[in-house]
Structure 1
Amino acid sequence: MSRKSHRPHIPSPANPKQRQEPLPWCHPKSPEEDPDAPGMVEAILNSPSYTPADRDLDFLQQDDTRSIRLQLDYLKPELLLRQHGVKHTVVVFGSTRIVEPIAAKQKVAALRSALADKPQDSELERRLAIAERIEDKSRYYSVAREFGSLVADASGCPGNPEFVVMTGGGPGIMEAANRGAYDAGLKTVGLNISLPHEQYPNPYITPELCFHFHYFALRKMHFLLRAKALVALPGGFGTFDELFETLTLIQTRKIKPVPVVLIGEQYWRRVLDIDFMVEEGVIDLEDRELFWYAETAQEAWDSIKSWHLSNNTPL
C-alpha cells in the first residue's frame, strides 16, 4: 500500500523592504480619531530629543560628548587613509605667508606703487619692508614644491604609493609641497583644522585625502602616526609648534626617531639658537643631533634617504 509523501508548503521569501499590509505605526493617528493628534505628533517629530544621536549636531557639540568627538576626529581620517593605502608619509611644514615668487613680486610692486603716491606713510613703509623679506624667502616655495615632487617620484606606483606628502593643508609652503606631489601625479594629503575664521584648503590636495579636524591634538597625532620624516622650512608659531612637538617626542623616545630636516640654515640659526640651549644645560648635547640643516630639496631628500639607510629602514 503506497503512501503519499507530505510536501510542506514553503512560502516565498518576504520582501526585504515592503509589506503587503503596513504595520500599525506606519501612519500617524488620524484626525478623525483625535483632531489634535496631527499637531501633537508634529511637535514630537520636531523635538530635539527625537533626532537620532548621530545626526544631532547640537547634542554632539556638548561638553559631555567630547570623548565621542575625539574618537570620531581620529577614526574618520584613519579609516580613509587605510582605504587609500597610505602607509607612510613625509610631513612638510612651513609658513603660510611665504607665497610663490610671482605672487610675492606682485605684492612688492603694488606696495611700492602705493608708497610712491604716499611717500610719508610709515605703515606702507613697514608693509613694504616685510613684503620684500617675503619676496626674498619666496625661493623656499620653489624648494618645497621641488621637494614634494622628489618624494612623489620616489614613492612608487601612482595608484598605490609607498609614501605620500602630508601637510597642514594650508597655503604657502604647505601648498608648495602638496603642489609638487600633485605635479607628479601622486596622491597628497592635507590635514586642515577648524578655526574661528574660515580656512580654505590649498587646491593641490587629493580631495579624498583632505581632512578637517576639530582638535589640534588629533591632527598632531595623524601627522606623526605614519611619518617617515619631517621637513620644516621657514615658518612661524605653527611651524615651531609641530617641530618642537616632534623633537620632544623623539627626545623622550615617546616615538621612534625619525629624520627631522630644517631647510634654510640661516633662518633657523637666527630664530633657534640650539647651541645656546646646550650651553645653558636645558637640553643635552645629544639632543642637538635630533635634526640637521639643508638648503636644497635634493639635499634634504638625499639626507633623509641616507638616514633611513643607516637606520636599516630604507625608503
Structure 2
Amino acid sequence: MTGPKAHPFPDAREDLRRSMIEEETPQTLSPTYRLAFDDSDFLMREELRPVRLQLELLKPQMLMDEAGITSTVVMFGGARIPAPADRDRARTPALGALSHFYDEARDFARRMTLESMKSGGTENVIVTGGGPGVMEAGNLGAHEAGGKSIGLNIVLPFEATPNAYVTPELSFNFHYFAIRKMHFLMRAKAITVFPGGFGTLDELFEAMTLIQTQRMAPVPILLFGEEFWRSIINWEALEAAGTIGADDLDLFRFVETGEEAARIVLEG
C-alpha cells in the first residue's frame, strides 16, 4: 500500500503477515481461523460464486485502469487459423486456405499499434483472447510494432498458456466466459472479427445484439473475409424472414485486408 492510509485500520497485508507468525495451537491451525480473504478453500465454495464473479470483473478493470488503457481495438478469430508457413499442416485444406488471415491480423494489429503509440500507447490498444491462431497474430503484430497488447485468456482444456506475444502485465486469465466478454467490450472502439468457430460466432453475435438493442454504444464491426462470412451466415435470409431489420445489416461491414480495416478504424 502506497501513500497515506485513508482510514485508521490495519492494512490487509499487515494483518495477513501478523496471522502467519502467530503461535501454532489447535485453534490457529484450524481452517476456520484463517482470514477469509486468504482462505482459498472458502473462496472456492459454491456460495462464494457472486464474490468470485465480482473479483473477476474488478481485477482486470483495476489493472487496466492503472496501466492507463483508455480504449481498445478488439480482435476476435479462430484459434485454429494457421500461420501461412503452417498451412500444409492444417487439419483441413479449407482451414489451410484461411491462413492468409493470420497475416492480415498481424498486419492490422501492427498498423493500429503504431498509430496508438503516437498518442502514448494507451488508446486503441489491441486486445485478443490471448490464445493461438488469429489471437496470436494480433498480439504478434502489436509486439512487432514495439507496443503493448492485451490477452484475455480463459481456462480451457486445449489452450494451456497465453501466446508468447501478449504483454505480460496485460495478460489475464478468466473462469467465466461472461465476464471475459464484458472486458472485451468495455473499452472497445472497434471490433474486428476473423474467420472462426463457435467461440468467434458467440463473441460476434453478442456484440451485435448489444448494439442492436442499444445496450452498447455503436462501434465499427469489421468482418474479415466476405466470402467466408456469406458462406456460413445468410444475412439476407434473416432480413427477408423479418427476424432482423434492414438497418441491422448496417451494424457490420466486410473487409479483406489489415490495411483496409485500419484505415476504416482510424478514419472513424
TM-score normalised to structure 2 length? 0.88
Q: 1:270 aligns with which of 231, 239, 253?
A: 231
Structure 1: which 5+ runs fail to align? 1-25, 29-37, 109-126, 309-315
Percent identity (aligned): 46
**Paired residues for 1:83-102 under 5 Å:** 83-102=66-85
> What amino acid maps onto 1:249 in structure 2?
L
2:46 alignment partner, one of 56, 59, 63: 63
CA drift at 1:160? 3.7
1:280 aligned residue: 241
Aligned match of 2:149 = 188
Residues 69-121 of structure 1, C-alpha deviation per residue, up to 9 Å, x if partnerless? 1111011111110111110000001110011111223x26xxxxxxxxxxxxx
1:229 partnered with 2:190: yes
Find 2:87's aligned residue among 104, 117, 126.
104
**Any stretches of 5+ residues in structure 2 without a counterpart?**
1-20
Aligned partner (choices 102, 117, 130) of residue 169 of structure 1: 130
In 1, are the aligned partners of 2:130 and 2:166 still within 8 Å (CA)? yes
Change (3 A) 1:52 1:66: same
Question: Residue 31 of structure 1 aligns with which residue?
Answer: none
TM-score (norm 1): 0.75
1:158 and 1:186 in contact (8 A); partners too: no
Aligned to 1:243: 204
Distance 1:165 1:292 in 2: 20
Q: Distance in 1 between matches of 2:130 and 2:211?
A: 24
The answer to whether the Cα contact below 8 Å between 2:117 and 2:147 also exists between their aligned partners in 1 is no
The aligned residue for residue 8 of structure 2 is none
Q: In the alignment, which residue of structure 1 is the partner of 2:6?
A: none
Matches of 1:157 and 1:46, distance apart in 2: 55
Distance 1:55 1:289, change over 3 A: same
State the 1:274 CA deviation: 0.5
1:45 and 1:141, CA in 2 relative to 1: closer, same or farther beyond 3 A?
same
What value does the CA root-mean-square deviation take over the aligned residues?
Answer: 1.7
How far did residue 196 of structure 1 move? 4.7
